[in-house]
Amino acid sequence: MILNSLSLCYHNKLILAPMVRVGTLPMRLLALDYGADIVYCEELIDLKMIQCKRVVNEVLSTVDFVAPDDRVVFRTCEREQNRVVFQMGTSDAERALAVARLVENDVAGIDVNMGCPKQYSTKGGMGAALLSDPDKIEKILSTLVKGTRRPVTCKIRILPSLEDTLSLVKRIERTGIAAIAVHGRKREERPQHPVSCEVIKAIADTLSIPVIANGGSHDHIQQYSDIEDFRQATAASSVMVARAAMWNPSIFLKEGLRPLEEVMQKYIRYAVQYDNHYTNTKYCLCQMLREQLESPQGRLLHAAQSSREIWRAYPAQITPKMCLLEWCRREKLAQPVYETVQRPLDRLFSSIVTVAEQKYQSTLWDKSKKLAEQAAAIVCLRSQGLPEGRLGEESPSLHKRKREAPDQDPGGPRAQELAQPGDLCKKPFVALGSGEESPLEGW
């Protein structure tokens, strides 16, 4: 990946908060699509990260940080490289620096979690435990500021007294960090306790660095316009949203919330594209569904034991290309390669997909490159006797084309109509690798 020399700016930003299990790549990309400016990854523990190897994943076009047991601990991609902040859990300055150096070329910022009140964090001296050890905070942050080329931030909770809180944040600011995120609750407080906008405001009034206000979901933030109200109420530079984004990441969309069904389908597409583990996908979808978990679809999702079973609960948007990609991964084949050409005569498209050195192509020509690729994927799936997913709202013309095909198809009598999406067809259409003439000839 290309090194990023730009420094992330924390002023006037909408930020996806760090959330364990929720803040993996599909959610971060979806939040960016909907308008988030900066996205934090879930908290990753320094001891775990330090054992990871950086691996460029050519198949997915991602950079993976892989543990010795081959588990992907952190996956990122170029699309988020200038927007993703890596949050770590740490209680040791040298370890923190080693992790920062490991990831710094692939992320836009480094953050230290100083707010997690959970025992698994605090018993190792991490998270909110750091709040009672300002010397350690200072050591960790100043080591990071000196040692990494990325902006360093931290995320804190407030202390029992305002005076102590202000003196802590002033000390933190002197370490040279770029910004500070403040969750306006005390260590022992839970989401049902009101967030203290006044304390965040007092911090914002005191510091010169950007303050990122956090803690407003539910009580203050339920829709896009509430984010700005929360920013004003706290006089902060930026706002970081956790639960409201977990429930529906389109909270970042200026035009207002999108229907959950649509959001979930977009999430699933990213989950498939980036080979997200099905348990993580399921967890995130369940967080979005909330009270609808008891619906028939929700129950299907809850019971899902594989990516396929998740798709069964939400089948509408699983396209043939996604099906084919997933099948190739399962079969340990190289990912499908599409070559698309446009016919000058009528500007229609045709695509050839290569899978396991075989080429597949529909005899029908399409109005767009996207549809031509989907058609080629269907041919391949059918010739393998595989379910082919469904084409949703993005490709209605593939259905419409069934009526148009006779005029458009240069193959005349060879042309075959596509079966209804979801049908299973074992008969190959055209497998160019098996002796059929290639319509690409002559190009």
Least distance (Å) from ligand FMN to the CB of residue 74? 12
Which residues, 6+ apart, have CB-to-CB distance to 394 below 8 Å?
317, 319, 370
Query: 189 vs 339, which CB is nearer to ligand FMN?
Result: 189
| CA–CA separation, 437 and 135 (whole Å) | 74
43 interacts with ligand FMN by CB under 6 A: yes
Q: Which helix (H) or strand (E) holds 358?
A: strand 358-361
Contact with ligand FMN (CB under 6 A): which of 18, 249, 389, 421? Answer: 18
Nearer residue to ligand FMN within complex by CB, 131 or 381: 131
Q: Which residues of 117-140 are buried (b: 16+ CB within 10 A; e: fewer)?
A: beeebbebebbbbbbeeeebbebb
Q: Which of 14, 16, 22, 310 binds ligand FMN (CB under 6 A)?
A: 22
Give 127 or 421: the residue with its C-beta nearer to ligand FMN. 127
Site for ligand FMN in 61-120 (CB under 6 A): 87, 113, 115-116
Q: Tell which residue, 237, 241, 191, has the closest CA to residue 221.
A: 241
Binding of residue 42 to ligand FMN (CB under 6 A): yes
Instruction: Determine phi and psi for 5, rounding to 5 degrees.
Output: -95, -10
**Residue list 193-232, contact with ligand FMN (CB under 6 A):** 214-217
Nearer to ligand FMN, 216 or 439 (CB): 216
Kindly state the number of chain residues that form the binding site for ligand FMN, as judged by CB under 6 A: 22
The mark string for 237-276 relative to ligand FMN (x by CB under 6 A, - otherwise) is: ----xxxx-x------------------------------
Nearer to ligand FMN, 166 or 242 (CB): 242
Among all chains, which residue has been given the structure tokens 């998270």? 127
Under the criterion CB under 6 A, does residue 36 sit at the interface with ligand FMN? no
Tell me, what amino acid is at 227?
A: I
- Packing angle of the helix pair 369-383, 396-408 (nearest 10 deg): 90
Q: Minimal distance in Å, beta carbon 128 to ligand FMN?
A: 10
* Residue 182, strand partner residues: 156, 213
Report, in Å, the least distance between residue 28 CB and ligand FMN: 13
d(CA 40, CA 15): 8
Q: Please report how close the Cβ of residue 47 comes to ligand FMN at its closest, in angstroms.
A: 15
Residue 46 sits in the site that holds ligand FMN (CB under 6 A) = no
Measured distance CA(34)–CA(23) in Å, rounded: 15
Q: Which of 20, 233, 235, 431 binds ligand FMN (CB under 6 A)?
A: 20
Closest CA to 230 of 206, 191, 197: 197
CB of 354 to ligand FMN, least distance (A): 41
The two tokens of residue 10 are: 């924390």
Q: Which of residues 171-190 bind ligand FMN (CB under 6 A)?
A: 183
Least separation, in Å, of the C-beta of 162 and ligand FMN?
19
By CB under 6 A, name the one of 19, 126, 272, 375 that touches ligand FMN: 19
Q: Whole-angstrom Cα distance, residue 143 to residue 78?
A: 27
CB of 336 closer than 8 Å to CB of 342: no
Q: Measured from the CB atom, is 132 or 342 closer to ligand FMN?
A: 132
42 vs 92, which CB is nearer to ligand FMN?
42
Contact call for residues 401 and 349 (beta carbons, < 8 A): no
Catalytic residue among 116, 323, 380, 425: 116
**Are 75 and 64 spatial neighbours (Cβ–Cβ below 8 Å)?**
yes
Q: By C-beta, is 130 or 323 nearer to ligand FMN?
A: 130
Q: Are 247 and 20 in contact (CB under 8 A)?
A: no
We find the least distance from the C-beta atom of residue 27 to ligand FMN, in angstroms, to be 11
Please identify, among the stretches 15-23, 60-68, 227-235, 419-427, the one whose residues bind ligand FMN according to the rule CB under 6 A. Answer: 15-23
Residue 234, interface with ligand FMN (CB under 6 A)? no
**Cα–Cα distance measured from residue 252 to residue 125, given in angstroms and rounded to the nearest whole number:** 34
CA distances from 435 to 254, 413, 438 (A): 53, 18, 9
Least Å distance, CB 44 to ligand FMN, is 8
Residue 116 catalytic? yes
The answer to whether 96 and 46 have CB atoms below 8 angstroms apart is yes
Residue numbers at the binding site for ligand FMN (CB under 6 A): 17-20, 22, 42-43, 87, 113, 115-116, 155, 183, 214-217, 241-244, 246
Residues labelled as active-site residues: 116
